[in-house]
Amino acid sequence: MAYKTIVGLEIHVELSTKTKAFCSCKNEFGGEPNTRVCPVCLGLPGGLPVLNEEVVNYTLMAALALNCQIQKLSKFDRKNYFYPDLTKGYQITQDDMPICTEGYIEIDGDLGAKRVGIYKIQIEEDTAKSLHTENNETLMDYNRCGVPLIEIVSKPDMSSGREARLFLENLKSTLTYLGISDCKMEEGSLRCDVNVNVVDEESGKKTAVTEVKNLNSFRGVEKAIDYEVKRHIELLETGEKEIRTTRRWDDVNNETVLMRVKYTVADYRFAPEGDLPQLLVEDSRIEEVKKRMPELPLDKEKRFIEEYNLPEYDAKVLTSSKELSVFYEDAAKNFNDYNLISNWIMTELLRRVEDVEKFELPFKSDDFIDLLKAVKSGEINNNVGKKVLREMFETSKKPRDIIEEKGLAQISDSSKIEEIVKEILEKNPQSIEDYRAGKDRALGFLVGQVMKASRGKANPQMVNKLILEKLK
């Protein structure tokens, strides 16, 4: 049988505004529980919401970056449901008239380049945070209630867990470049729900959509989708029927677990938000927002390929993080071997950096370039350069100081190297005979012995040349 997987995503992104969506309480992760609250975000009588202007601006930036159509007129609604994290008994959101519609993100899909549609982006407020104790108690921290969100709803255009992960990685890169969210899943500033079902393309039968929650990483999203696809195929093959449900992802057992039957739209009893007027977005605001827009990842990637003559893969890695791309360009201003910079960043720096998004180093780009200049000029060889870099990470010392303190400068004096070569050849007559008998490995052995005798300081090219001259 031929099966088709259908995947859609609902992504909630917390915006990094200074204050909350509809009040002046501070918008910041953490803090003493229940201290960043007021009558408005707590839903107390008499507290009236006032829309944060910067929330609109940030949303418009996301819309422009994600190729969306901006609706000049939109409105706010009340989404009614009861849960302890919702103090008002409803959430301010947008339902049938969202601010943005019909966007897309391009990914490298399973069958090549693919455009994944975005159904809508809507503004809404976050809920409080539930803290579950070991004593089976639930404590509520309302600092998060009222924090501004944009909900990004994709179209069901993805066909695998891999495509969903690529979509999310692209989205995160774009939003962090814009500076409108830090997109930290571990802190809840980016949360993703997955909707997945499977269709039997021969019979046309399809499974009911399953929503998967509690996903705390992009890899978790991919694994949850792959798990659900297998489960849905089994349902089709056994003829079992399942109503639409909500499940959670169990990261320990790598499986989804049933939570509840899925809510329907009618359950939420949407109604217009009477305390907020309709939102009118004028052309002048859109133009102002466009002026604030930075260079986006895809544009930067194309520019890196053209301006620095980098391979596509290198350009993609170097632009995957805003901070990483800034470091590369700072280095490229003072050193024109662009590929050498790229190679050292990708092979030596990235494996030592814990968080590529922050890309924090214990030294400046100028120190890094000084090291590369020493390598390229032949002052130190490549392996010594790697040792110097390791010490730069450990001690934050400048490369020049490390080279001088440890006497690591490469020996390029031909007379000194010739003395070492002569000594090694005298000690290894058998290797000379082996080379003359056609055993090329003997040359490598002799070069290695010279490098060992010089404690790695001898210029390898000069060593190789002088040994060959002596052997001939």
What was the pLDDT predicted at 13?
A: 95
Closest by alpha carbon to 87, among 142, 151, 7, 31? 142
Q: For residues 76-81, give the mean pLDDT.
A: 92
CA distance readout (Å), 91 to 44, 88, 108, 273: 14, 7, 36, 10
Mean pLDDT of 174-181: 93
Tell me which of 363 and 423 has the higher pLDDT.
Answer: 363
> What average pLDDT score do residues 171-189 get?
89
Instruction: Read off the pLDDT of each residue in 329-347 and give the average, rounded to a whole number.
Output: 92
CA distance 130 to 13: 18
pLDDT score of 216: 82
Is residue 198 within 8 Å of 7, Cβ to Cβ?
no
Beta strands in 146-217 (DSSP E): 148-154, 190-200, 210-215
Per-residue pLDDT at 422: 77
What confidence score (pLDDT) does residue 78 get? 94
| HSE of 152, CA atoms in CB hemisphere, 13 A | 29
Candidate ranges 135-139, 331-335, 405-409; pick with highest mean pLDDT: 331-335
Q: β-pairing, 90-93 with 77-80?
A: antiparallel
DSSP string, 258-304: EEEEPP-GGGG--EE-TTSPPEE--HHHHHHHHHH----HHHHHHHH
Tokens 């190679």 map to which residue?
Answer: 343
Mean pLDDT of all residues in 436-465: 74
Q: What is the mean pLDDT of the chain?
A: 87
Mean pLDDT of 309-318: 93
Tens of pLDDT, residue by residue over 45-61, are 888 999 999 999 999 99
* 411 — pLDDT class (breaks 50, 70, 90): low
Task: Give CA–CA dist 321/315, Å, rounded.
Answer: 11
Tell whether the model's pLDDT for residue 407 goes beyond 80. Answer: no
* CB burial readout 382-391, b (16+ within 10 A) else e: eebbeebbeb
Residues near 210 by Cβ (< 8 Å), separated by ≥ 6?
A: 195, 196, 197, 228, 232, 242, 244, 245, 246, 247, 256
Residue 375 pLDDT grade (very low, low, confident, very high; cuts 50, 70, 90) = confident
445: three-class secondary structure by DSSP: helix
Sign of CA dihedral 93, 95, 98, 100: positive
The C-alpha atoms of residue 42 and residue 141 are separated, in whole angstroms, by: 11
All domains of the chain in start order, with CATH: 3-284 (no CATH), 295-405 (no CATH), 414-471 (1.10.10.410)
What CA–CA distances, in Å, run from 148 to 22, 52, 189, 259?
Answer: 8, 9, 10, 27
Mean pLDDT over 384-412 rounds to 81
CA angle 82, 126, 103 (to 5 degrees): 115
* Token pair 């919702």: residue: 86
DSSP assignment letter at 458: B
Residue 238: the pLDDT is 86
Contact by Cβ (8 Å): 392, 367: yes
Q: What angle, rounded to 10 degrees, do the helices at 460-471 and 429-436 form?
A: 80
